[in-house]
Amino acid sequence: MSARVGVPPRGVPLRLRGRVLAPDRPAVMAVVNRTPDSFFPGARAADDDAALLAVRRAVDHGADLVDIGGVRAGRGPEVSPGEEIDRVLGLVRRVRGAFPDLAISVDTWRAEVAQAVALAGADLLNDTWAGHDPELVTVAAEHGLGIVCSHTGGVAPRTDPLRPQYPLPAGRLAARVAGVAQPEPLDALDGVLLDVLATLAAGARRAVEAGVDPQAVLVDPTHDFGKSTWHSVHLTRRTAELTGLRHPVLMALSRKDFVGESLGLPVDDRLEGTLAATAIAAWQGATVFRVHDVLATRRVVEMVAVLRGDSPPAGATRGLA
131, pLDDT greater than 70: yes
β-pairing verdict for 250-251 and 288-291: parallel
Confidence of residue 155 (pLDDT cuts 50, 70, 90): confident
pLDDT in tens, 43-55: 778 789 999 999 9
Give residue 182's pLDDT: 64
Mean pLDDT of 207-211: 98
Predicted pLDDT of residue 208: 98
Task: Kindly state whether residue 317 falls inside one of the protein's structural domains.
Answer: no
Domain membership flag for residue 90 = yes
Q: What is the pLDDT of residues 254-278, one digit of tens each?
A: 999 999 999 999 999 999 999 999 9
Quote the distance between the C-alpha of residue 67 and its chain's center.
Answer: 9
| 160 confidence band (pLDDT: 50, 70, 90) | confident
- Which has more confidence, 239 or 73? 239
pLDDT of residue 92: 97
Residue 4 domain flag: no
Tell me the pLDDT of the chain averaged across its residues: 92
- With respect to residue 315, please indicate whether it lies within any of the assigned structural domains: no
Q: What are phi and psi of 314, to 5 degrees?
A: -60, -30
Helix, strand and coil content of the chain, in percent to the nearest 5, comes to 40, 15, 45
C-alpha to C-alpha distance for 194 and 258, rounded to whole angstroms: 20
d(CA 152, CA 29): 21
The reported pLDDT for the residue numbered 109 is 96
Q: Note whether residue 56 is domain-resident.
A: yes
The predicted-structure confidence for 171-205, as pLDDT tens digits, reads as follows 554 444 455 666 666 788 899 999 999 999 999 99
Asked, for residue 5, whether it belongs to a domain, the answer is no
In total, how many domains does the chain have?
1
* Residue 32 host element (H or E): strand 27-33
Alpha-helical (H) ranges within 211-267 are 229-237, 239-243, 257-263
CATH assignment of the domain containing 55: 3.20.20.20
* pLDDT for 163 beyond 50: yes
Hey, which bits of 52-202 come out as E strands? 65-69, 103-107, 124-126, 146-150
pTM of the model: 0.92
Query: Do the domain assignments include residue 1?
Result: no
Structural domain for 51, as ranges = 14-308
At how many degrees (to 10) do helices 271-283 and 294-308 cross?
A: 30
Confidence of residue 168 (pLDDT cuts 50, 70, 90): confident
Q: How far lies 11's CA from each of 22, 44, 264, in Å?
A: 12, 31, 31
Computed on alpha carbons and rounded to an integer, the radius of gyration of the chain in Å comes to 19
Residue 123 domain-assigned? yes
